[in-house]
Chain A
Amino acid sequence: GAVVSQHPSWVICKSGTSVKIECRSLDFQATTMFWYRQFPKQSLMLMATSNEGSKATYEQGVEKDKFLINHASLTLSTLTVTSAHPEDSSFYICSAREQLAGIYNEQFFGPGTRLTVL
């Protein structure tokens, strides 16, 4: 399957700082990328969908001003957690999908970024 990378794989930061997470599709062009968050023993929850060159679509309850998403190219999307707080500590996973019109196309997941906010 296709390869999606994430960087960093883990990060520890102080409360109030901002953290940027990168998601890259390595061998295909991802017209759509998705950002998920997973708390311990919980399911993956979709945070937002980003399409290359346009604004991200956020799920209900996700603050767009806190979780800034930029999908500037077909191989890169970034998620910035602004003014992070301990409750933002979670496992953030991106996925990428190559657009094929009219059918479901598999999403390939990155390895995840574990964020710990002290």
Chain B
Amino acid sequence: RKEVEQDPGPFNVPEGATVAFNCTYSNSASQSFFWYRQDCRKEPKLLMSVYSSGNEDGRFTAQLNRASQYISLLIRDSKLSDSATYLCVVVSGYSTLTFGKGTMLLVSP
């Protein structure tokens, strides 16, 4: 089983749609979880942290399920500018980041 697995997509959605991504991880000792956003040919940028209690930031909601070892990201009211690749990141220890391959989102008018 890969350390961090994501559906590569692409997810093609119209503006205004709600879309959800999932990510599974294999290391049960992982301590921190994040969603990053990466635009084409750019560096990844932190989108939000993921907590068991859920984390909401505007149109974005992230959730962690430790028992099932998966992380989710929900985007409501999709905008054209949301088109990007969303990377699931799992941290073990205090510094080792493991990235998923990313899920590509394409939002169309």
Q: Do chains A and B stick together as partners?
A: yes
A49-B95, A109-B45, A110-B43 known; A104 and B32 CB under 8 Å?
A: yes
Complex Cα–Cα for A97 and B32 (A): 15
Of the candidates A45, A106, A111, the one whose C-beta lies within 8 Å of that of B43 is A111
Nearest CB in chain A: distance from B98 CB, A: 8
* A46 touching B102, Cβ below 8 Å: no
The reply to whether the CB of A85 lies closer than 8 angstroms to some CB of chain B is no
A41-B101, A104-B31, A104-B91 known; A46 and B43 CB under 8 Å?
A: no
Tally chain A residues at the interface, Cβ within 8 Å.
24
Range of interface residues on B (Cβ < 8 Å): 20 to 34
For chain B residues 1-45, which have a beta carbon within 8 Å of chain A? 4, 8, 31-32, 41-45
Determine chain A's interface SS by DSSP, over half rule: loop
Nearest CB in chain B: distance from A104 CB, A: 5
Nearest CB in chain A: distance from B52 CB, A: 15
Bits for B77-109, please: 1 = Cβ < 8 Å to A, else 0.
000000000010001001111111110000000
A42-B101, A43-B100, A43-B102 known; A106 and B94 CB under 8 Å?
A: no
Nearest CB in chain B: distance from A20 CB, A: 19
Interface residues of B (CB under 8 A from A): 4, 8, 31-32, 41-46, 87, 91, 94-102
Interface residues of A (CB under 8 A from B): 1, 32, 34, 41-46, 49, 91, 93, 97, 102-107, 109-112, 114
